[in-house]
Chains A and B, each alone.
Chain A
Amino acid sequence: MKASHKLFLFVLVSCLSILNTVRAQEIISPTIEIADRSFAIITDRSTFEKCQKEILAYRDIVESELLPTLIVYHDWKSPEQLKKELQRLYETVKIEGVIFIGDIPIPMVLKAQHLTNVSTAIPSDRFYDDFGLTFDFLEQSKTNPQLFFYNLGISSPNRIRSTIYSARLKPATDGDTDKYQQINTYLNKAIQARLNKDSIDQVMSYVAYQPLSAWSSHSNFLEEQFPQILKTSTQFQNYKDDKQRTLQNETINQFRRRDLDIAFIRQYPLSNVASIYPNVTFTIFADDPIGNFSEGQYSAGQFTMGKGSTLTVLANTVQPTPHRHPTYLIGSLGMGLNIGQWSKLNNTLESHLFGDPTFAFSINSTDTLTRYVHEGGTKKLVEALSKSKSPEAQSFLLNQLYLHNYEGLSKLITQYYDNSNYATVRYTCIHLADRQEGETRSVLFAKGIKDTDESIRQEVINAISRIGDPIFIPALVDAYIENQHAEGILSAINMALYAFNKDLIKNIAEQRFMTANNFIDNVKAKESFYENQFKGIYLEIDKNIFDTKPASQRQGISDLRTIHYHPSITRYLEFVRNSKMPIDLRIAMLESLSCFGDSYRKQEIIAACKELMVDTRHSKRLRDEARRTLNNIN
């Protein structure tokens, strides 16, 4: 008997056995045989009853593309209950992803400051789809019983790597439209979308504020990722507001276009969504937190579920960390990946899909990636890489090799970095190098900070400030000298240098500015550099932390999450050890130190945490926090 048959049987059996148990979840098996993967529609009992016909029809259309689909419905009591079921389905029927339709408990995650930008609770389905993360239950909300609060587990991994993809179909409750009606309407729309499939040949992008040269680089990325939009200008409408005109209203007209495949939106105040009737197949809202589905009314929901044929939206539940590359590997959508498969590669704690995640655009590339999504064999991936022509296929395969811990990766990324004329491929190499330690990273960073592409330089500079090793100071000062016309880079350097010792910077700058040949007046240029660099709140971090006023101290400690000031790590650790300090501040300091996971002095923090964890002179709270910090940075 083939393995797949066994799986199929198992599902049947489990269904039958479930029927005997009251209040257990109901499972409807796929109508097609499960080979190597499947998909699950998760819903609540009432939604299933009200929307049964549409859910089954949706299941059929997903299965029409040979993705076996289960339907699981239940009155879910807690996120844990559902997660357990998802893990079981993953083990038994290899679900690659899920869609949550209707009333599904919402996990609210705390203590994840090192993974995100905010310290408030974050509505996050990473609880469900990243099986590696662990969580400690805090409480169920009394005002909204759908919300379940958790701390990220003390020994949870410190990065996101979703095991499966997930998406939500959660009606925005405005009181007018019946929520089940909304779901039915949406599912019919999703079915319709499958019948009119198209390749990606119409893309638009909107950004409100961005330095021009950074915009230029980002535009170039999208053009490399979707080469077929370069046939005529109307196929890539690329908007950036400036002093002379704003294109916000035109962006609404773009949302309404019936032929637009993907819209990539930054800094867009999405208001009065109901009147837009958007038709874009897939829209990415890269930075505004319009996806906060813990609220009854949330824009991403209105956008997806409202009138108009829009299928799927990617949005954040809270304000995301800046400097992310929200369209990393997005070109793979033109090579056979479905939206869920792509978004999983790029997940953060706050990023969420709304609507159908199984939709895949028609392939319009000579490279097809479908069969490499679930390929774990690095030999096959390397072979595919050597044959792939398009930049985005190369990037995707390099990224897969990284995910599968390919041991020859260092060599490969060095080789691809050195030889590729594509900025996106070089970016991928730098991005992956950031996750390697040692020689490869240093060598690629040294090259990357001088790359012709601005996004690549920016990526390196941000990484350098996280690492904080003073050996990078000369590269940063040189970069300052060479990037006089790249506003975005100059401000990245400015932020990065706050993480280094002022005197060390000066020592190097004195010498670097004297030999620079691109200033009419080197001394003046140097002075203006000092003037801009050595001022502002981030120079005051230590002064604040070691102040006597708790408010200042708190401010300083919190600023450390933005500026990782590596030179004072010893003093920060002293601060934590110092029992004369208020316990809240010591814990806050540990929380901030948990953002130092990439620091070149990480080992010192680890050693201190190990020591604190077992030192019973400290309170249990502090010891626990030390354990958490240790885990977060390790």
Chain B
Amino acid sequence: MTTISSVAAQDSALPRLRVDLLPLLLVPVLALLMLPLIGSFPTWVTLTVAGLAMGMMVFMMASGLTLIFGLMDVLNFGHGAFVSVGAFTATLVLLPMKGWVEADSILMNLSVVGLAILLAMLVTGILGWAFERIIIRPVYGLHLKQILITMGGMIVAEQLIHVIWGAEQIPLQLPTTFRGAFIIGDAALEKYRLIAVGVGLTVFVTMFLVLNRTKVGLLIRAGVENGEMVEALGYRIRRLFVGVFMAGSALAGLGGVMWGLYKETLTAAIGGEITVLVFIVIIIGGLGSVGGCFIGAMLVALVANYAGFLAPKVALVSDILLMVTVLLWRPQGLYPVAKR
């Protein structure tokens, strides 16, 4: 049988794999550069772990949004609503089961937080389904309308939270065994921050495995690049859209619970307040890129923490400065997603 391999593979050497390591190096390089500036190793460790913990929580909230944008081309400015609803839904478990929260038992503490997370993800996932169906679906492809209607959706969600939970702040108690810190040498590593790092890494690894090792994950990645071709291969991209929107909303709900426990106080605006940060992260990472989103979240949080320690006034604009710097270097973000 005749083949065209002989002619098409004239450039017979294997194409060089373009593994872009530079963005991966940013986080460790940034951390190491800060060590001499901070001067104290224990302080550096504490700041770095705190930054990584915050970064993980921001990643949980941002990862869904970046996939929603990448796959569906939807600018969801209402994403913060799922963060707020997730955090408030957690109170439905954490407040009535206060005994479990206050118990000096890691098993009871983990159980009650796990239950709160499950409920929050379930509720925000279902809310995401309704949000996509009612609010997003009529405005596919219309970016300006998407911005307006999703911001409107966020305002409605905040007001509904006021109606259901009231306008007052709600204190959210951190479970007993999650409090305190591990003291290693002179460095204090807060337990909850380490838990947040663990949960964030679990989410990242799970997303990585799903996106790289499953057919659904490959379809999502393919859909981010060329949704029309995915349809032409026989798959209903609309179902993928809905699934990703629900998953992204549920992840925001998870982030909301973690963020709420971190802040220990809830207001309806908790999601709205974090929305700007989430958008900065996904822009830095490259819209649609989960890996970029992860690195972006770490960078934003670390820079905020280091700047807060070294130059508190600069910390107020550190996120924006970081975004501008990254975009001057890579205008499409750290890991731009190929589009058709």
Q: State yes or no: do A and B come from one complex.
A: no
By a beta-carbon cutoff of 8 Å, the part of chain B in contact with chain A is none
Chain A residues in the interface with B (C-beta under 8 A): none
